Amino acid sequence: MPELPEVEHVVRALAPIVTGRRILGAELNLKRIAPGISRQKFNRQLQNARITAVGRRGKYILFHLESGHVLTTHLRMTGKFVSLTTDDALPPYAHVIFYLDDERRLVFCDMRQFGRMQIFKDRPKELEKLAPEPLSEDFTAEYFLNTLARSGRPLKNLLLDQTRVLGLGNIYAVEALFLAGVSPMKAANTLSKPRARKLYQAIRDVLQEAIDAGSTLKIDLADGNGSYFGTLERFWRVYEREGEPCVKCGKRIRRVVQSNRSTYFCPGCQR
């Protein structure tokens, strides 16, 4: 699943293509992508709507419209946007098509059909519940320490809770824990304040590092196959490196399963 750095780069790729463009029409070809609205109403609310900005809240992509409405998109596992001319063949799994006023089509395709869209005027509850943006001034060390102190969950599980710590998925959660030298299995409320502060900084560092490095994406919105998710460079320290030597101490990276998800860690550096 794309995490905050990946979504950030999708937003940066979309912005110059759609900002200022008017949606002449929209086709919702798979109802489950936008379950809270009929196909007819989806098109009616977006027809002739001008896109004034593209932003992000956590892992949600936000298309701000001149009408004051916002179209949210969550890519989930395999959701992708592609930008096509009117002559280009549609990519596989083209579930939503936006016809723009520059004679191009913005297409949302999703092989596994987990992606979701919603149109709203007032901010929906799922966005209101999200934690502060982890690279913003609102995500303070004090907020993070208080969040840990109130939870007895394993740290890895807590870091994946978007209402507590925003933007982390499996990759950057394990990377941050490794960078901080903290066991992913440790109960959050037992972590010392010095270690908690190290983890707080590690979260910010790994996310910024991934954004600066181009994240794990090679994005080409004009790729007709919609295949813009591709690893640019394997810069992970522990993720998917089971059995390989730790970059710090040389011990073998281990993998355990937490809440049905793989967790990678170094038994030497993260006791």
For the annotated catalytic residues, the residue numbers are: 2-3, 59, 261
**Which tokens go with 225?**
């196959």
Nearest-angstrom CA–CA distance, 231 and 101 = 33
Report how far Cα 227 is from the mean position of its chain's Cα atoms.
17
Mark out the alpha helices in the chain (DSSP H runs): 4-18, 39-46, 125-128, 141-149, 155-159, 170-180, 193-212
Q: What is the CA radius of gyration of the chain?
A: 20
CA dihedral angle for residue 101, residue 225, residue 169, residue 129, rounded to 10 degrees: 30
Q: Which of 172, 147, 144, 143 is nearest to 160 (CA)?
A: 172
Query: How far is residue 176's CA from residue 168's CA, in Å, rounded to a whole number?
Result: 9
Rounded Cα distance, 33 and 48, in Å: 21
